[in-house]
Structure 1
Amino acid sequence: MDLDPPAGADVPPYGLAGSSLPEAQPSLAHPADGSGLSLDRRPKKSSTTCAVCRFRKVRCNGARPCCGNCQRLGFPCSYDDADVDAWSLSLPRRRVKQACLSCHSRKARCSGHLPSCERCRVQGIECVYRPNKRAKPSESDRDGARENRSHRENRDHDEGRNDSPALTEAASSASPGGDNHEGPHIDESFNSIVSRAFDLFFRHVHHMAMFTFLHRASLMEQYHTGKVERPLLLAIVGITSCLTNMGPGMREYGNRCINEAEALLLADYSRPSIVKIQALVFVIKHRILCNKFSSAFVLHSFASRYATALRLNYEAPHLRFLAQESRRRLMWAMYCIDTSICGGYPDFVLWRADQIHVYLPCNERNFEFDLPQHTEKLVPDTHQPRPPLAEDVGTLALHARILHIRQKIIEFTKVAQYDRGMEAAELQGRIFALDKELNDFATNLPTSFQFSENSLRLRAYSPRLCVFVMIHIWWRQCYCDLYRLALVDISGGLPQSMLDMFDQGFLEHCHRQCVDHSLALTLIFSLIQKLDAKPVADIDLAMCAYQCARMLMHLFQFGIFSRFGVAADTVMEQAQLCLQTIKDCCVGPAVDCIVADLERLVNRDARAVTGEGIVSADLSQQTMPQNIQITDASDVLGAPTTTGLQPFNPPSNAVNNTVSSFTHPVMTAPWMSETAFAPGLDQQTLPPEVHANPSKSGTPNLSAPRSEYGQSDLNNEYDGTFAGLGLDDGFDYNMGMDMNMWATNGGSWTAPGFGSTWMG
């Protein structure tokens, strides 16, 4: 007789089902019978586990008539195995397979219901389950959840309630969007992510010039009381994850946070507020870093309109100092963004310096500890000489000053390239006036802000290292932007026909300025590498380092460096130094494009820089005297009065030494087509070369001639350097990244297909 149970039978491990007596020992009379039990099988015992405990898979004490578990929980107890299936249908489920993220973060009991658990439904917060751990709800459940959430938001909006107190609950999801389960999984609640983001933001990011408007103590106090609005939280997480390393998958997660923050801001765009402007600044900078310049361009107009509606450009004397200073810093942060977005084109300027009637920001320490401090305006009300800056001047104030000068420089260079009617004396006068402003800026810097290796060493491990370095990098870059006008065969430089009008001594002075300040930039980068200081930097550092490398190669290629005895290997080393600085300090997709292009340039053009196979350009019009020597490092990095430059006196016929903002009819959008100008434009204000030819059709040809810019072998060698770089829609040209000044043949910095449409 076969005693083995049939397949699929549920046999208790100890004894037969329902039996309370010990089972008889199997007979050993027929050990050879294959149907009998083996000799080593343990004897079965009576069941000591009730059916309920067996179903629940818990230990049973076997007490009869009711075990301890069933007595404690009020379950009917039975030792009959036939009742197991019945208990599986009737017993309430004590635990769910997975709690929602909100209940999990609060260590609260979750009912596990879909689309929303009982706790989230009662409290009116968003309920999100961890992706790939639970079956996704049906589309009808999703639609119902959206309708309920939309109804709650509309109700709270109509009642004037601030939904921010529920942020800590609503934001408990690790996914910024409830229905977005794509991307890497972050096994962490949103609250803990925000806490880490706050810590990293105020440690590494907050000291960047455009992010200093948040007051840490006030923000943390509001956050712990649930009064920080969701878009600002998402924006802080997004910008921090972009600029720092928050862990695996956090960059993609930060991108989703920025997307949701932007969606929330635009969904309620009709109600301007200070918090929305703060969030928009972070979103704009994130878009720039992520190579989405067109998005940043449009969002900046939203933020500027909000600032105008809230009169952010005017003082608010009725507010206490901390609130006033936060408003000032936010306004000047927007001004700094605007100077880079306009790119020297007056049509794009949203904030002129004379439109901002608030004082410059105070010292960072005074802002942190709520210590009132009197500051001055960027544009003084009177024409009195500007006094030297105080030792406790704020870094954001210095940034606003140097970017104000740079805006005037790039606007002037745009005008100088197209206004062929400008006399040489007028050009020289404007150049000297801008040079004087740069000189005054450096002369008036407090002692603590003067650049030296020691001052850099003292800040090597300070979060304010980046802002200190960028002040001096911008100052050097301004000189390069100003004096590149005298370089031949370079986009951004004047045509040879205009350079011929200048005195040879003036051209030599311009060349020397380009050499000194480009080498000074590389010296700053070398000191950063020497001290192993790797500050968290904005894309501005990458752009300045990139332009520095391009100028070094251009100066060497046209023989200007040969007058100073600088070898080709030295030029390549300096270019590699610029590249390494970008890699160490800057991050983001836009920076990746810059790095890839500069790597390709350095690797491909090493042969061109050494002069192999390249025909030398005719430098008869730009030769430099043999006795000019490179100054030493300390001189180059000192104040302008100690740079080692021979004083150059402006000619007596140099006129118009005052520099103001320019508005010129030729200064149109770089992507405007040649036939898109207004037909009624006064042609008397245009250069003679762009006037309509009366012998042809009535449509005037307003394209600026490029034949005088000279297409040398260098142009052919660098042709296509920027092709396929990936910067979208040509807006990179207007983000302070005027790479067309280095590109050739109209510039190919933009993505393929946009060159003719956007660059004109």
Structure 2
Amino acid sequence: MTEALRPLRPLQVSGDLHDPQSPQIKPGPISKPVSVLDPLKKRAICSQCRIRKVRCDGRPDICQNCDRLGFECSFQQAPGKSPGQYVVKLPERRRRMQACIPCHSKKTRCLGELPSCSSCVRRNRVCTYPRTKRQGSTARGHDFAEGSNADDRSVERVGTASPGQDIGMVGATEGSALDYETTMGLMEDYFQHLYPLPSFSFLHKATVLQRCRDQTMNETLKLAICAITALQLQRTSLCHDLWVQQAEQSILQQIGRASIFHLQALLLVIRYRIESGEFPTAFMLAALAARTALALRLNYERPELSDVAQEARRRLFWALYLLDDFFCVGLREFELCPEETIHLQLPCDEEHFEAGRHIHTGLLRPGLGSSEHVTDIGLRGIFLRLTSVRRAVMRFNRRVGLGEELSSTIGSSIQRFEEELESLKSALRPSDQYSVLNLTSCQWQAQFLMLHTSWHQCHCDLYRLGLDGYSEAAPSPVLIAIRLRNRIAMQVKCFEHAESIIRIISDFSNHGDSACFLERDAAVCAFESARLVMFGSRIPGATSTLDVAINKAKLSLNLITRFFPYSASTQPLRKDLERLIASYSVRLALQTQETLSEPDPPPSARPSTKVSQYASSRQRLSVQSLLLQSDFVDDSNEIAGPPPPPPTNSQAVSIPEPTNPISNNTSNIPKNQGWGVGGQTNSANGQIPTAGFSLDAGQEDAGLIFNPWMGFTGTEDMYGASGRPPGLDDEF
């Protein structure tokens, strides 16, 4: 038997139930639909609730919100004053954002402590609070304490956007907007300090500065240029963290609308993230930049455009091509711009670009294009060709390390690279050949230095395969197959080119422009040459003694410390080189290598479970690799849910130790071979120690130091003689 349902009461209309004139609806059964509210009559909302964007109950005299918070309600009108004559008094702001600029840009929790928040103190970074209306300028923690009750309001851009602005630009924090004088000053600084570098030369100076003066420049690009310039010049008083965040958000909000101005800004944002140590963000944004470039067809020529527009497009794409050196380290799977997809000529010299003249410079690889006469290649074009050859050398070294290169073809491959490098050198104009006079008289000293150090470093990468005992030498079976005479010749050439890099660094330190900026590859070449020179001093018959080699290595360290004091991407190089020099100095103090006992090996650990083991062996990222420092973790194990709880003591069973696929096949792995992501093979047990080790001179031949450009070679017997599972492509 079902119980009868009680009829529902109709809703009561708003009004005072004690008012005799107010309509009363008594409870009872519903006989017919009752109109609860008049759909044509809207509820009254006071001005305070409308401004605060909260729900107003419309109570006469004073609404419930204003009564509770103590605000002056617009319903409290003087008799005889019409509603339109009421003057609204803005309510007091009860809550405010207290996040500092670093926490706000990184989207981390900030408690707003003064003078510095706990998050910045824990991460050892400068804590800076945004400008406020009362302060009028950016304040660090100790300055902010004087006006800690100031508001931090955000201002939304309203109205129609000008042609130089972006539709949908995010609101800027009050006080962080760029004024005209600051913008023009940073623009001039960009073209004076950053534009000479290969990765920053894609903007046309005259056009950009004119648009800045006319205030018609793309807002996102303007923010990106000013942000990267302020960061590189360490203008800590400026809100460059907020500028780059606004530029990045504007690009992401318009991700479906490809724009060459947004791509220019995106490349600068990526460089900002790299230099500030945000490698995971930079790595992901780099993929977006590559997609945008392909969507705009920047890898093809556009003859119908003006000469300035064509050259600006070319330089933008070549800057994206150079970005590969930060992450892909010669690995096909991480390449943004594969060379077979590039159908552009090389960039021209600056005087032609500024004058808007078209000059035919040829393609990236001379044998890939037509046989047209090349007028002038210039420093920038030769540097790009050298970059291509250097990446080919890295891929060749990887094949040798994995046992994929036949011993009989190694000699011919090395000879082919030698001929290609010599051809590049002969293509240089007499004024671009290296000499101290050409270095001091060159207008683009940074480009000049990077070209010649990279040319010598390419030889070092090629010849270090023959350095028996070096961490990046060829596997022992390969070395045995090379004639002793050829191995000795490779060693001599390797040390000669390393000495040449040190000499160029010394000349630049003594005669070069101390105010110019350098790119990270200059630090990589300095780091690698110092390692080779110190390692070469241990070999019998070395040209440099240990004390001389240490002094030469200190020249490289001085270059890194002097020109990269704040760069997060080069800090590992500086710290590792400092530890390595200290270790060799201990050897020098003990006077002889025989009296020095070898240090205990670092604690071993199991192979990293963050990535696939086969990916570890194939990729062989170096400790200094920015991709490795990004610390991406494969969380695929979470797909199947949380792991089962461990058994209790009563249920404990004996579980066999998991088999290490590496240690079961280490009989043919040379002791100087390393493999894996984030670690190095321990020659004793075939396991990978943790990445947090200290560099030591005694561990150099154990493979504990890695090339930041090349990485380190992998085991050739990981998957049999071929070095890879059957069926996979050679260009994996």
TM range (shorter): 0.5 to 0.7
Q: CA deviation at 1:418?
A: 0.4
Q: Residue in 1 aligned with 2:440?
A: 457
- Measured in 1, the distance between the counterparts of 2:660 and 2:692 equals 32
Residues 211 and 430 (structure 1), Cα distance of their counterparts in 2 relative to 1, 3 Å cut: same
- Measured in 1, the distance between the counterparts of 2:582 and 2:492 equals 27
- Measured in 2, the distance between the counterparts of 1:424 and 1:673 equals 37
Q: CA deviation at 1:453?
A: 1.1
RMSD, aligned α-carbons? 4.3
Q: CA deviation at 1:702?
A: 10
The answer to whether the 8 A contact 1:552-1:575 is kept is yes
The answer to whether the 8 A contact 1:345-1:411 is kept is yes
Q: Spell out the pairing of 1:739-758 with structure 2 (5 A cutoff).
A: 740-741=711-712
Q: Residue in 1 aligned with 2:535?
A: 554
Q: 2:578 aligns with which of 577, 599, 615?
A: 599
Q: Spell out the pairing of 1:464-613 with structure 2 (5 A cutoff).
A: 464-534=444-514, 535-557=516-538, 559=539, 562-586=540-564, 587-608=566-587, 612=591
Deviates more, 1:407-416 or 1:188-197: 188-197
Q: CA deviation at 1:545?
A: 0.7
The answer to whether the 8 A contact 1:335-1:351 is kept is yes
Q: CA deviation at 1:742?
A: 10
- Measured in 1, the distance between the counterparts of 2:475 and 2:388 equals 27
- Measured in 2, the distance between the counterparts of 1:568 and 1:455 equals 32
The answer to whether the 8 A contact 1:241-1:254 is kept is yes
Residues 581 and 716 (structure 1), Cα distance of their counterparts in 2 relative to 1, 3 Å cut: farther
Q: Spell out the pairing of 1:590-669 with structure 2 (5 A cutoff).
A: 590-608=569-587, 612=591, 614-615=593-594, 667-668=618-619
- Measured in 1, the distance between the counterparts of 2:714 and 2:619 equals 20
The answer to whether the 8 A contact 1:287-1:293 is kept is yes
- Measured in 2, the distance between the counterparts of 1:667 and 1:385 equals 37
Q: Spell out the pairing of 1:230-629 with structure 2 (5 A cutoff).
A: 230-245=219-234, 247-250=235-238, 253-380=239-366, 390=375, 392-419=376-403, 422-459=405-442, 462=443, 464-534=444-514, 535-557=516-538, 559=539, 562-586=540-564, 587-608=566-587, 612=591, 614-615=593-594
**Structure 2 residue identity aligned to 1:419:** G
Q: Residue in 1 aligned with 2:181?
A: 192
- Measured in 2, the distance between the counterparts of 1:405 and 1:316 equals 27
Q: Residue in 2 aligned with 1:60?
A: none
The answer to whether the 8 A contact 2:221-2:265 is kept is yes
Residues 368 and 720 (structure 1), Cα distance of their counterparts in 2 relative to 1, 3 Å cut: farther
**Structure 1 residue identity aligned to 2:563:** C
Residues 272 and 536 (structure 1), Cα distance of their counterparts in 2 relative to 1, 3 Å cut: same
The answer as to 2:708 corresponding to 1:737 is: yes
- Measured in 2, the distance between the counterparts of 1:287 and 1:451 equals 34
Q: CA deviation at 1:215?
A: 0.6
CA distances 1:366-425 after superposition (whole Å, capped 9, x unpaired): 1001122222111346688897x75x43332122111011110111111110025x3222
The answer to whether the 8 A contact 1:496-1:709 is kept is yes
Q: CA deviation at 1:203?
A: 1.0
Residues 711 and 362 (structure 1), Cα distance of their counterparts in 2 relative to 1, 3 Å cut: closer
Q: Residue in 2 aligned with 1:106?
A: none
Residues 282 and 506 (structure 1), Cα distance of their counterparts in 2 relative to 1, 3 Å cut: same
- Measured in 2, the distance between the counterparts of 1:348 and 1:234 equals 29
The answer to whether the 8 A contact 1:354-1:379 is kept is no
CA distances 1:619-651 after superposition (whole Å, capped 9, x unpaired): xxxxxxxxxxxxxxxxxxxxxxxxxxxxxxxxx
More RCO (CA 8 Å, sep 6+): 1
The answer to whether the 8 A contact 1:343-1:738 is kept is yes
Q: CA deviation at 1:455?
A: 0.5
- Measured in 1, the distance between the counterparts of 2:283 and 2:532 equals 28
The answer to whether the 8 A contact 2:331-2:395 is kept is yes
Residues 721 and 609 (structure 1), Cα distance of their counterparts in 2 relative to 1, 3 Å cut: farther
- Measured in 2, the distance between the counterparts of 1:403 and 1:519 equals 21
The answer to whether the 8 A contact 2:536-2:542 is kept is no
Q: CA deviation at 1:228?
A: 1.7
Q: Residue in 2 aligned with 1:28?
A: none
**Runs (5+) with no aligned partner, structure 1:** 1-92, 94-126, 618-663, 677-695, 727-732, 745-760
- Measured in 1, the distance between the counterparts of 2:256 and 2:546 equals 58
SS across alignment from 2:291: helix
**Runs (5+) with no aligned partner, structure 2:** 1-88, 90-130, 139-143, 597-614, 622-627, 637-656, 674-679, 696-703, 716-732
**Structure 2 residue identity aligned to 1:227:** T
SS across alignment from 1:500: helix
Residues 609 and 294 (structure 1), Cα distance of their counterparts in 2 relative to 1, 3 Å cut: farther
> How much identity, in percent, do the aligned residues show?
25
Q: CA deviation at 1:580?
A: 0.8
The answer to whether the 8 A contact 1:491-1:740 is kept is no
The answer to whether the 8 A contact 1:490-1:709 is kept is no
The answer to whether the 8 A contact 2:311-2:353 is kept is yes
- Measured in 2, the distance between the counterparts of 1:324 and 1:483 equals 39
Q: CA deviation at 1:339?
A: 4.1
Deviates more, 1:268-277 or 1:190-199: 190-199
Q: CA deviation at 1:445?
A: 1.3
Q: 2:193 aligns with which of 201, 204, 209?
A: 204
Structure with more helix by fraction? 1
Residues 596 and 697 (structure 1), Cα distance of their counterparts in 2 relative to 1, 3 Å cut: closer
Residues 669 and 279 (structure 1), Cα distance of their counterparts in 2 relative to 1, 3 Å cut: farther
CA distances 1:404-452 after superposition (whole Å, capped 9, x unpaired): 11110111111110025x3222111111111211111112211111001
- Measured in 2, the distance between the counterparts of 1:551 and 1:479 equals 12
Deviates more, 1:512-521 or 1:735-744: 735-744
**Structure 1 residue identity aligned to 2:671:** G
- Measured in 2, the distance between the counterparts of 1:739 and 1:346 equals 13
Residues 448 and 538 (structure 1), Cα distance of their counterparts in 2 relative to 1, 3 Å cut: same
Q: CA deviation at 1:343?
A: 0.4
TM-score of the superposition, structure 1-length normalised? Answer: 0.60
Q: CA deviation at 1:309?
A: 0.5
TM-score of the superposition, structure 2-length normalised? Answer: 0.62
